[in-house]
């Protein structure tokens, strides 16, 4: 009887441990993404299971900001499609402002591009920028500690996306490892000895200004965050 009780206790402990270690999976549909905080001039449209975001007149990039602060380790998966030739796709993650408030502070509506840059660069975050051929640039990935300090700054030799096609993105952060996959191909696998602890997730799109203004437009779907 004693041995039987010991076996039962061991089984119960194993089940309890497995439940404790199980990841939480958060599936965010288009309607839920539509409730995320936004910044700068743009608009959102729900089309089936997609949310389409686009810049409008006077925009300096359009931001979609998660209401939740995610802990240190997580995996972000989503599908994205650039819908204009000038759509730069930017994912900021582990975004944390230097304030004790849980409210995410935005610049004023009439903020200048420089003021928006100061606001963005003052926050700790990781920045993954892809599909930036229209800006005469290649994909890059950096850690922002402050306006004057970056942790790492990595760049790819070639562009990896085309307009009008769906791509599957995976961004992962576990312990000191941070990685990025596109269509299951690993492009970045970085060891950060002092990783950022927690923060929000922000999707941003940006078009081109100057003589030929082309607004950014992109569609997102199947957003899943595991942590």
* Span 29-56, pLDDT tens digits: 999 999 999 999 999 999 999 999 999 9
**Dist. CA 21–CA 77, nearest whole Å:** 20
Would residue 167 count as lying in a domain? yes
Provide the token pair at 21.
Answer: 């270690």
Q: How many CA atoms lie within 13 A of 160 on its CB side?
A: 21
Mean pLDDT of 14-30: 69
Mean pLDDT of 108-127: 93
pLDDT at 7 over 70: no
Would residue 17 count as lying in a domain? no
**Dist. CA 178–CA 21, nearest whole Å:** 20
Would residue 99 count as lying in a domain? yes
pLDDT at 69 over 70: yes
pLDDT at 19 over 70: no
Instruction: Give residue 33's Cα distance to chain centre.
Output: 13
Would residue 76 count as lying in a domain? yes
Per-residue HEC secondary structure of the chain comes to CHHHHHHHHHHHHHHHHHHHHCCCEEEECHHHHCCCEEECCEEEEEECCEEEEEECCCCCCEEEECCCCECCCEEEEEEEEECCCCCEEEEEEEEECCCCCCCCCCCCCCCCHHHHHHHHHCCEEEEEEECCHHHCCCCEEEEEEECCEEEEEEECCCCCCCCCCCEEEEEEEECCEEEEEECCEEEEEEECCCCCCCEEEEEEEECECCCCCECCEEEEEEEEEEC
pLDDT bin (cut points 50, 70, 90) of residue 20 is very low
Range of the domain at 100: 24-226
Phi and psi torsions of 168, nearest 5°: -100, 120
Average predicted confidence (pLDDT) for the chain: 89
* Span 145-174, pLDDT tens digits: 998 899 999 999 999 999 999 999 999 999
Amino acid 21: pLDDT:
52
Would residue 213 count as lying in a domain? yes
Would residue 10 count as lying in a domain? no
Q: How many domains are there within the chain?
A: 1
178-182 CB contacts, 8 Å cutoff, 24+ apart: 178/126, 180/128, 180/141, 182/130
CATH, residue 134 = 2.60.120.560
Would residue 157 count as lying in a domain? yes
pLDDT bin (cut points 50, 70, 90) of residue 192 is very high
Would residue 144 count as lying in a domain? yes
């Amino acid at each position: 009887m004693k041995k039987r009780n010991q076996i039962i206790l061991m089984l119960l402990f194993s089940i309890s441990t497995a439940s404790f270690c199980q990841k939480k999976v958060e599936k965010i549909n288009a309607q839920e993404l539509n409730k995320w905080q936004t910044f700068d001039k743009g608009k959102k449209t729900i089309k089936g299971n997609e949310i389409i975001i686009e810049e409008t007149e006077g925009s300096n990039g359009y931001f979609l900001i998660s209401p939740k602060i995610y802990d240190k380790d997580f995996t972000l998966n989503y599908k994205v499609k650039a819908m204009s030739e000038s759509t730069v796709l930017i994912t900021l993650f582990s975004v944390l402002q230097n304030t004790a408030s849980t409210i995410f502070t935005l610049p004023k509506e009439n903020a200048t591009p420089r003021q928006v840059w100061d606001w963005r660069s003052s926050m700790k975050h990781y920045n993954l920028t892809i599909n930036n051929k229209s800006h005469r640039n290649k994909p890059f990935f950096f850690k922002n500690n402050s306006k004057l300090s970056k942790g790492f700054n990595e760049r790819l030799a070639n562009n990896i996306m085309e307009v009008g096609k769906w791509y599957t993105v995976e961004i992962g952060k576990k312990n000191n490892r941070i990685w990025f996959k596109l269509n299951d191909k690993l492009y970045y696998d970085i060891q950060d000895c002092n990783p950022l602890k927690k923060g929000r997730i922000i999707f941003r799109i940006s078009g081109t200004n100057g003589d030929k203004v082309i607004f950014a437009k992109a569609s997102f779907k199947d957003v899943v965050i595991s942590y």
